[in-house]
Structure 1
Amino acid sequence: MIGTTVHTYKNYIGGEWVEASNGETFDSINPADTEDIVGRFPACTAEDAIRAIRAAEAAFPGWARTAPAKRAEILNKAADLLERRLERIAQELTREEGKVISASRMEVKRSAATLRYYAAEGLSFSGETFPNDDPASLVFTIREPLGVVSVITPWNFPVSIPARKIAPALITGNTVVFKPASDTPLMGLRLVEALVDAGVPAGVLNFVTGSASKVGQPLTADPAVKAVTFTGSTQAGEAIHRSVPLTTRTQMELGGKNPLLIMEDADLEKAVELTIKGGFELTGQACTGTSRVIVMRSVHDQYVEKLVQHTSRLKIGNGFTDGVQIGPLANRSQLATVIDYVAVGRAEGATLVYGGEHLTDGEYGKGYYVRPAIFTGVTPDMRIAREEIFGPVVAVIAVDSLEEALRVANSVEYGLSASIVTKDLEKAQIFVKEIQSGTVKVNRTTTGNLMNVPFGGLKKSSSSTFRESGRVGLEFFTQMKTVYFGY
């Protein structure tokens, strides 16, 4: 699996694979084995980002005039290529990001399906006609592409999140400058390769890697950039939102502190299953991950006992190892963050009933491994109950009523995803109406969203402008004209 030589990759700008203008590089590291260098990538400068923007700007008129059917054909071909290359890309995804191999395969499959979905939806996404009182006129709207779109994505879903942004951007006639997270540049490159090999013209899709501090400013502030779609932390999203010109629109999918509410009548085995799936799978590194469990006091002790029992059986290790359910954290910074929050929880007076240790013995010695942490005795004002951790840490909060549970759930600044476990239809309906969350689930995990439905958050989980995914995901990438046509 681990090669003896380190391959050096390049940017893709204006139809050419090129090095960074300063010749500098950085390494992508395997989080399961930090001695394994996955690849070496250009450490781009602002000059490189500007060059990519100019290439996209120059390519825009031709791509905007390209027949929609031709754009769809390219997306479908790219989907075919992802599927043909699935096993190689999945292996590289596990090596670069750390998730278990089964999850990597699912992500590549979903990314291919996303390309196909937008290839189809884009062919029927258009304006409307309106009735009017003048028999010699026609009133209608038309949708047009915006121009250059900056796509800035995180490392936790390094193929599927870029796919759900790039596909609708391209099918609607925009050109793209794509900057992946520096922890997973190879995955971004593999998606770009599939699109380029499928026939995306020069300049339509550009790829730059490197630090956001070096390339981020042009990608958000250059007047040629007409839209910025970003997934990442709320802090970074707020900074981007402040930096864009008035004429640049933004789409921000940001942080979460997602609650799972467990009622008195809940199937506790089901509740535990949903907690583990939402809180610990993907090593807790999902923006929709379960980080707070708000449970009725009458079933609290029984639930916690079952949760600890089931969590203790989870196998932690390299994502390539059979039976492993939890891989390493993605990088050293995430490991430090999780360890710090475990210490914070203890200092605040919460009870660590399971896990939280940095694993360093044997096979764990070279990776960023941590045992999933379960805290009880958590109060809503504690930092571990309010701040996004983005790791396998669950804070259990005991309450006495649905009203109190909703008050606690809604007390944080985030509103991305929330779920309830109950057999009571009335309580479920009250929850759906009262919870402040963009994604609401009943008897389902907080994680996961279908590609054909809208996705996005409320409060500081989103800029609350445009949703991603589904047919509405095309709206962000188009502008509308209203036409009065007399004859």
Structure 2
Amino acid sequence: MTQVYLNYINGIWKPSSNEQTFDSKNPADVNEKIGVFPSSTTKDVNEVVASAKDALVEWRELSAHVRGNYLHKAADILESRADDIAQTATREMGKTFVETKGEVLRGVSILRYYAQEGFRNIGENIPSADSKNLLYTMRVPVGVVGVISPWNFPIAIPIWKMAPALVYGNTVVLKPASETAITAIKIIEAFADAGFPKGVINIITGKGSVVGDRIIHHPNVNAVTFTGSNDVGKQVAFACLNRGGKYQLEMGGKNPAIILDDADLDLAAELTVNGAMKHTGQKCTATSRAYIHKDIYDVFKQKVLKKVNAIKLGSGLESDTYMGPVASSSQLDTVLHYIDAGIAEGATLLTGGKVPESKVYKYGYYVEATVFEDVTNDMRIAQEEIFGPVLCLIKVDGLEDALQQANDSRFGLSASLFTNDIGKAFTFINKIEAGLIKVNGESAGVELQAPFGGMKESSSHSREQGQAAKEFFTSIKTITITPIS
């Protein structure tokens, strides 16, 4: 019997008001139905926002230490259910169990990190020009926060948005991507079982054009934090701006790796391939362009091809799988479209580029790991985000040539450099136009206590995670107290 999952509104698990549902299917085998979840309406959004607004009154009055204790409880429950949630995420969006299990454990660590915020200083004393005055600041919650999360990191991203929002005294309405709605519901089950007061944490599923659109336009949603495509991000920004709401956007990337002639080529090849192909390339920080010094280009290319051709494609639940399917039929169509565009524009396809023919892959959204060369910077595959396992190899004369081409992009999320020259490393750090910079490291990933975010069109120039999160999820009050005698 197909399991039915529900919205969580004001402490109650309930169907949508129209009782309509969507199916969740396994992208590794579309014949497998994982469950059904609500196709919610604007009426449901209005209800969930009202519950979050009502809950805000008492939640914000609790100390941050008490709020943090709820996060500790949620972390313990989430950890105890790590295998089940990871398996669900793998079945819903395809990436390997090792990757989704790691994501759950990262979520646990994020919750524990923010649970300690009750012991950290989030205001400051300021010297006054009048020695009699007491001048200081305090931070207060923004209010009701709408969290719109993507399908590619269905566990870590909503948690790194919700955890700081909650500990700083806000209430939350989570709208997850439909591709991973059941995973998100299981996360909220952990929060619910941790005993959060009713209305503090909520989840509502459904179409972005209905549920998401109502959230971003709702007058009682004080802030929206969004991760997803640039096109939708712009809609979020315009909607919030028009009604005076706060917004935070993390969007696309077209992330370069630069490999210089003094680099450790084995390390560079391994991490470039990992950055491009793990998670099936479905990361905003995935490596999509490799700028390689001409003197080591051929050697490096062969190392990359050897690693790519050894990639095991299959179900993410199989222990020896390196790369699972893409998340949906529409995502598969997008990846294949870009591969065709690369060939049409004159790039040379070195390996991959097709849907695998074996009957093992017949019912899934599989595409081979793909590598191009003879790519110029004006090609679509060098400029547009593909969000799939496609890597472009580009020959350069040296660091300055690589920097010029790497910066020739509307995106600026992450970038990596492989070198043993400390001077060149600092030149790269100073000149690359990206928010996340790695030297001798994979372009993807950042530790949870550090700020995360991009430049240019990759973000709204705010930062998530770490202590930077307080900038979005709180507002500052400046107070002056003057004695009257």
TM-score, normalised via structure 1 length: 0.98
Q: 1:219 aligns with which of 215, 219, 236?
A: 215
Amino acid at match of 1:108: V
- The equivalent residue for 1:52 is 48
Change (3 A) 1:291 1:122: farther
The one-letter amino acid paired with 2:207 is S
2:260 corresponds in structure 1 to 263
- 1:414-435, Cα deviation, whole Å (9 max, x unpaired): 0000000111111111000000
1:324 — aligned with what?
Answer: 321
Q: Secondary structure of the residue that 2:362 maps to in structure 1?
A: helix
1:303 matched to 2:300:
yes
Please name the residue that 2:405 is paired with. Answer: 408
CA shift for structure 1 position 360: 4.0
Select 2:335's aligned residue among 335, 338, 347.
Answer: 338
* Residue in structure 2 matched with residue 134 of structure 1 by the alignment: 130
Aligned partner of residue 294 in structure 1, secondary structure: strand
Indicate yes or no: 2:393 matched with 1:364.
no
Q: Tell me the percent identity.
A: 46
Q: Out of 456, 477, 480, which is 2:476 matched to?
A: 480
Question: For residue 26 of structure 1, what is the aligned residue in structure 2?
Answer: 22
Aligned equivalent of 1:351: 348
Q: Which of 71, 76, 81 is the equivalent residue of 1:75?
A: 71
Q: CA deviation at 1:136?
A: 3.1
Determine if contact 1:296/1:398 at 8 Å carries over to the other structure. yes
Kindly report the root-mean-square deviation, in angstroms, between the aligned alpha carbons of the 2 structures. 1.0
How many residues align? The count is 482
Give the equivalent residue in structure 1 for 2:426.
429
One of 175, 179, 195 as aligned partner of 1:179: 175
SS of alignment partner, residue 29 of structure 1: strand
In 2, distance between residues paired with 1:337 and 1:204? 38
Quote the offset at 1:121 in angstroms: 2.6
Whole-angstrom CA distance in 1 between matches of 2:341 and 2:224: 35
2:82 is aligned to: 86
- The alpha-carbon deviation at position 18 of structure 1 amounts to 1.1
Asked if 1:150 is matched to 2:146, the reply is: yes
Aligned to 2:101: 105
Q: Deviations over 1:328-348 (max 9, x none)?
A: 111111111111111000000
Q: Which runs of 5+ in 2 are unaligned?
A: none
Q: Displacement of 1:322 after TM fit?
A: 2.2
Q: One-letter code of the match for 2:36?
A: R
Q: Aligned residue for 2:370?
A: 373
Question: Structure 2 counterpart of 1:127, which letter?
Answer: G
Which residue type is aligned with residue 92 of structure 1?
T
Identify which range, 283-292 or 236-245, moves more after superposition.
Answer: 236-245
Counterpart CA distance in 1 for 2:5 and 2:32 is 16
Quick one: distance in 1 between partners of 2:94 and 2:463?
28
- Counterpart for residue 201 of structure 2: 205
1:9-66 per-residue CA deviation (whole Å, 9 max, x = no partner) reads: 1101111111111111001111111001111000011111111111111111111111
Pick aligned residue for 1:239 from 214, 235, 238:
235
How far off its partner does 1:246 sit? 4.4
Inter-partner Cα distance in structure 2 for 1:330 and 1:122 = 38
Question: What is the DSSP-based 3-state SS (H/G/I as helix, E as strand, rest coil) of the residue aligned with 1:280?
Answer: helix
> Are the counterparts in 2 of residues 122 and 474 from structure 1 also a CA contact under 8 Å?
no
1:96 CA drift (Å):
1.2
Contact 2:110 2:160 in 1 (8 A): yes
What secondary structure does 1:359 align onto? coil
Equivalent in the alignment of 2:6:
10
Partner secondary structure for residue 54 of structure 1: helix
Q: Is residue 116 from structure 1 mapped to residue 112 from structure 2 by the alignment?
A: yes
* 1:382-403 Cα distance to aligned partner (Å, 9 max, x none): 0000000000000111111211
Q: How far is 1:351 from its partner?
A: 0.1
Letter in 2 for 1:398: K
Equivalent position amino acid for 1:142 in 2:
M
Aligned equivalents of 1:426, 1:356: Cα separation in 2: 38
**1:144–1:479 CA contact under 8 A, matched in 2:** yes
For 1:381, give the aligned amino acid.
D
Q: Quick one: which of 451, 454, 460 aligns to 1:463?
A: 460
2:119 match: secondary structure: coil
CA–CA distance in structure 2, aligned partners of residues 475 and 406 of structure 1: 31
1:417 aligned partner, one-letter code: S
Larger CA deviation: 130-139 vs 261-270: 130-139
- Identify the range of structure 1 (18-27 vs 344-353) with the bigger mean alpha-carbon deviation: 18-27
Measure the CA separation in 1 of the matches of 2:66 and 2:275.
Answer: 39
SS at match of 1:177: strand
Q: In the alignment, is the contact (CA less than 8 A) between 1:355 and 1:374 conserved in 2?
A: yes
C-alpha deviation, 1:93, in angstroms: 1.5
- 1:452 alignment partner in structure 2: 449
> Is the 1:28–1:39 Cα contact (8 Å) retained in structure 2?
yes
For 2:422 and 2:133, the matched residues in 1 are separated by: 51
Q: Deviations over 1:228-251 (max 9, x none)?
A: 000001111011111113421111
Q: Does 1:253 align with 2:250?
A: yes
TM-score by length of 2: 0.98
